[in-house]
Structure 1
Amino acid sequence: MLAERRGDAVAYEAFLRDFAASMRRIITLHFRRMSLGTGEVEDVVQEVLIAVHAKRNQWDARRPLVPWLNAIARYKAVDAMRRLQRQARGRVDLSDEEWSTLFVSTDPRHDREAVDVEKLLSELPTGQQAALRAVALEGASHREAADRLGTTEGAVRVAFHRSLKKLMAAAKQRNSE
């Protein structure tokens, strides 16, 4: 960091690279401990690096660097974990394989189940029906569905995940009957 202040861009780049590697390990460990997916780790690392870079002139060179870096990293990581925990409450994470088989059945009762799925879909609010049909049944991306439905990508994501949550709850209820 001192070398950066003297204009040594190569040393600063090496510092950021080493710091990023350290942050990846630490944040990955914390995310696993909190049962959060590690897919967001790189985003958090980048947020930390941007914050360090933006605030680098605020570091007092007469004081230790590591506590200053740790404070920035801790605040960014805690913010990200809180945000991800809030988002995870309504999120349904499925693999590509799970998505591809979500509405496919080789069971001879398929026709009856298709009617059941249609009935469940018809019980959803109109916006959730449209989002689910566009994304899950027609294969549109969230952005394409948003353009088609005249809404935002975020609204499609929310409607889609809420509809899946409702369908899954309804399916569980029917299976338990």
Structure 2
Amino acid sequence: MPLFKKKEGIVEMEEDGGSYGFDINVTQLVELMELHGKELIDKLNNDYGGLNGLLQKLKANSQKGLESDNETDLEERRNVFGENKIPPKPMKSFLKLCWEALHDLMIIILLVCSIVSIGLSFYKAPDENNSTNKKGVAILIAVLVVVTVTAFNDWRKEKQFRGLQTKIESDQLSNVVRDGKVQQVNVFDLVVGDMCLIKY
């Protein structure tokens, strides 16, 4: 039995979709979306009675589309079938960005040099001036600074990119038939049952 998230919590949906007034459920729609060409047309005609049959199961009017002022219906469609949003991938953590910055070839070479330099400083005679240790530590500090700055810059760029991407996505409009006329609707406000006008 599929589960769908709702604002108040988790809602169980019956396989027939009947409890919500729809004669089709998400699983069936996903199966349709995965088909192409003749296979899709055959499935649509044989199982759903063609396009008009599918629209009837979705409680959508083939001439007028959905009613834009019927918020109850639109909200019910969002609750049953989900919102038209793809959740963004989680941002990389600062530590992960630091780890990725450490994989730079030059950084690896510098790390090896600093470790070798620090290691060699322990094998010096006690009466000699031990400046090798200071050089190794200085190289290590320089590497840490470079890695931190690189990771911070990458983190800031990714944050800016996500902000720009969100702005672009939120400004996208789609032409749909609602109330018997073509309207422009934000892509995030599209629901299952909307008839979209596709431009090629």
TM-score, shorter chain, exceeding 0.5:
no
Instruction: Give the structure with the larger strand fraction.
Output: 2
* Greater relative CO, 1 or 2 (CA 8 Å, sep 6+): 2
Structure having the larger proportion of residues in helix: 1
- Give the TM-score normalised by the residue count of structure 1: 0.30
TM-score by length of 2: 0.27
